[in-house]
Structure 1
Amino acid sequence: MRTEIIDRIVISGAKGFVGKNLRKFLYVNGISSIPISRQNFKNNKFPSLKNTSHFVHLAGVGSESVHQDSFVQVNIELTKTVINLCKKNNIKNIIYFSGLGVSKNSRSSYFISKFNAEQLIKKSGLKYTIFRPSYILGNDDYLTKNILKQILKKQILVPGSGKFLLQPISIDDVCRCINVALHSSKFSNKIIDLVGPKEITFQNLIKKSVSPKIKIKKINLELAYKKALNDINFEYGVEDLNILVGNYVGNHKRLQNLCNFNFKKIESLNT
């Protein structure tokens, strides 16, 4: 294993949940980061990226609407731009966040866009690490914010049976994984499931996270999809449902062997 000295990297999606936490973590560990925002991409104007070793590409979109950029625009076209930026600035390594469940057989628009972005990176000639994360939990994460909004309504909707499996991972462990990947050649040119050590059903995750006073209501899955398509205020979007009910779990043992540290077992949203 080769250990590299890293002191400066680039991060897209730096204002998002993972990006903000990662920048703080790296700063504490002596690594400075250059943030790239959606506005930089939109205006095609970027800060100096000289003397940086890695590009951590976190920017992406998980839902589509008439008011948002599409999966193709963000997950594919932004990836093309990132690859070009790396080549232009002699950045030889890219770390990309895809999604757990992505494969060549993917049928959802979101997963297809992520798979195509993966292929662009693999064919780019850059050294790459592609992480496929499960739900990443921590202060202000997307899933917890969704559930908290539902708690305010005194009711949480569980699509379908609620027995589909998740394999959540803590944001602290995610930051540690990225840090190890930055420094170790063991991660080079690999696609790795970014998952925690414990599989848990969505139903049990919710039950262990909220007060017994909060009503948990199951909603027929077909009805949930209809509402997701037609009601902008519904608790879940179409791709939220695709990911949630997909029963996507990954190979934690492989991740553990690569990282060589102990991961937090997540049994509730109160991590």
Structure 2
Amino acid sequence: MNILVTGASGFVGQAVVRELVARGHMVWAGSRRGEASGGAHGLKLDVTDPGSVERAVAASDPAAVVHLVGIIAETGAQTFERVHVEGTRHVLAATPRGARYVHMSALGAREDSQSGYSSSKGRAEALVRASGLRWTIFQPSLIFGPGDDFFGRVLRELVSTAPVVPQIGDGSFPFRPVGVADVARAFATAAGGEVGLRDTYALTGPEEFTFRQLLELELQALGKRKPIVPVPLALMNLAVPLMQVLPKPPITRDQYAMLKEGNSAPNEPARTVFGLSMQRLQDVLPQIVGPGASRPAATTP
């Protein structure tokens, strides 16, 4: 089965490509550079350019399209609107009418969200549901695995930089991280068949953690002992905007808004429908942050 994957060079994209190839599919890996990897054919694909999308679809003749492209922070012309909303519009328009379409959204996506990221993801979902295609939407929570951005970079830097670990507010915001292997399995199963047709699924792991518990797990995996110091939300509300003048702020306004909202949902029905193994964060975290672990770039696929 010919399957086109957008954002194939990213953290999740590489895992999805490997899973699809392992299942015997003919995979076309779309990315702006057009790299071929993991037994897939490379294709140049820029979702912000409708002509680029059309050429990639014509070259791959897909029976299924897996759309994974996303950004976690806006940079120059790469805005949430342009990448998430307009990019999705271009991919939907080019997807053959009889093809399966599997869409990467995010847990908490909704059009009225205070987060620009979540709001744009919600508007993209609306386009998918109105497309008339044979779609499935996945809404992952924080995704963990070797090479991930949140646990491998953001949280690692947060607990490693200063003598104390800053905790946002009371640290009670809930999260239910999901393993990248489970995410890849869900996408591959949906792309390769009729499971989950025209439905939306939260992708979450087996256990819920508070933000403070995630900090404690990160410290434990790194073998560090440091005090965790709560930072009142009133102070964070003042500090985060000031951080934006830095060339690379430790946290963006958007990431701060999403952290305060939390990121959790039950793992059913996705766990049963797609036969997910439910990797545990604490079993994989030492591989993510330990010696020799790959250091991710500060973007998502």
2:95 is aligned to 86
Secondary structure of the residue that 1:25 maps to in structure 2?
helix
> Mapping of 1:1-271 within 5 angstroms?
7-38=1-32, 40-41=45-46, 42=48, 44-45=51-52, 46-47=55-56, 48-65=58-75, 67-87=76-96, 90=97, 92-144=99-151, 145-154=153-162, 155-210=164-219, 211-231=223-243, 232=246, 233-267=248-282, 269-270=285-286
2 CA distance for matches of 1:82 and 1:205? Answer: 36
Residue-by-residue CA offset, 1:152-180 (whole Å, 9 max, x unaligned): 42443321111111000001111111122
Structure 1 residues 160 and 196: alpha-carbon distance in aligned structure 2, compared to 1, 3 A threshold: same
What secondary structure sits across from 1:64 in the alignment? coil
Question: TM-score, length-normalised on structure 1?
Answer: 0.87
Counterpart code for 1:71: F
Equivalent residues of 2:65, 2:191 under 8 A apart = no
User: Conserved in 2, the CA contact under 8 Å of 1:55 and 1:86?
Assistant: yes
Deviation at 1:133, TM superposition (A): 0.7
Deviates more, 1:12-21 or 1:75-84: 12-21
Letter in 1 for 2:170: S
The CA deviation at 1:246 is 1.0
Give per-residue Cα distances to partners, 1:191-215, cap 9 Å, x unaligned: 1101112111111122122134244
Structure 2: which 5+ runs fail to align? 34-44, 288-301
Summarize the Cα distance change of 1:225–1:140 in structure 2 as closer, same or farther, 3 Å threshold.
farther
CA contact (8 A) 1:10 1:49 kept: no
Distance 2:70 2:277 in 1: 28
Change in CA separation of 1:241 and 1:91 when aligned onto 2, cut-off 3 Å: farther
3-state DSSP of counterpart to 1:252: coil
Q: What's the secondary structure of 2:73's corresponding residue?
A: coil
> Contact 1:227 / 1:234 at 8 angstroms: preserved in 2?
no
Count the aligned residue pairs.
Answer: 262
SS at match of 2:202: strand
For residues 47-88 of structure 1, give each alpha carbon's deviation from its aligned partner in whole angstroms, at most 9, with x where no partner exists. 3444311111110122224x351111111000111011104x
Residue segments in structure 1 that go unaligned for 5+ positions in a row: 1-6
> How well do the aligned residues superpose, as a CA RMSD in angstroms?
2.2
What is the deviation of 1:247? 2.6
Give the TM-score of the pair, scaled to structure 2.
Answer: 0.79
The DSSP-based 3-state class of the residue aligned with 1:196 is coil
Q: Report the secondary structure of 2:269's partner residue.
A: helix
Alpha-carbon distance in structure 1 between the residues aligned to 2:28 and 2:234: 44
